[in-house]
């Protein structure tokens, strides 16, 4: 069983980071100016700043769920898109990026638990970690696309550009 636990933990951590799929989720935000984070290219539904706040919302929700609490989902999808369209300052942008990383790190810590197969309602902990990993991956792809449209890709660490 220890081998299965280790496999589940490693798989969950890779899902949360995007490892082996795309640039690290947190690295996708690096080097982006606060002004560009608030720009919405023509036809784009969101800014990078909005995407980051949306990802943070769901990361925090899942951390609460994994901790045994019962967070209420929003009544409408718009409820999971908090905050403004653009940051008001560099400091606000940097705070959002730090918060994103902090919540992702909190999820990674919870992925090291030995009870990942334990069910809470209809989902196991590992299923919920996979769900938030997939959600983050989806939106990190949007971040990369927006950054490409804004002429700000790849991030300083590089990026997958086939």
CA-to-CA distance for 128 and 110, rounded, in angstroms? 11
In whole angstroms, give the CA distance from residue 120 to residue 127: 10
Q: Where do the domains of the chain lie?
A: 2-149
Look at residues 10, 11, 108, 119 and name the one whose alpha carbon lies nearest to residue 68: 119
- What's the fold here for domain 2-149? 1.20.120
Mean pLDDT of 23-48: 94
Tell me the pLDDT tens digit for each residue of 115-147: 999 999 999 999 999 999 999 999 999 999 999
Instruction: Please tell me the distance from the alpha carbon of residue 116 to that of residue 78, in angstroms, as a whole number.
Output: 30
- pLDDT above 90 (res 4): no
Phi/psi of residue 113, nearest 5 degrees: -75, 150
Query: Residue 25 has what pLDDT?
Result: 84
User: Which tens digit of pLDDT belongs to each residue from 59-109?
Assistant: 999 999 999 999 999 999 999 999 999 999 999 999 999 999 999 999 999
């Amino acid at each position: 069983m220890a081998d299965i636990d280790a496999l589940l933990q490693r798989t969950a951590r890779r899902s949360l980071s995007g490892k082996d799929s795309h640039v690290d989720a947190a690295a996708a935000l690096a080097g982006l100016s606060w002004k560009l984070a608030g720009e919405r290219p023509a036809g784009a539904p969101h800014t990078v700043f909005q995407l980051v706040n949306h990802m943070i919302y769901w990361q925090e929700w899942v951390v609460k769920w994994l901790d045994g609490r019962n967070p209420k989902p929003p009544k409408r999808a718009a409820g999971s898109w908090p905050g403004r369209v653009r940051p008001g300052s560099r400091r606000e942008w940097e705070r959002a990026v730090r918060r994103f990383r902090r919540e992702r790190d909190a999820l990674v810590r919870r992925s090291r638990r030995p009870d990942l197969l334990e069910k809470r309602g209809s989902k196991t902990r590992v299923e919920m970690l996979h769900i938030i990993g997939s959600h983050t991956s989806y939106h990190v792809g949007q971040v990369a696309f927006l950054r490409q449209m804004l002429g700000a890709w790849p991030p300083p660490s590089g990026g997958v550009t086939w």
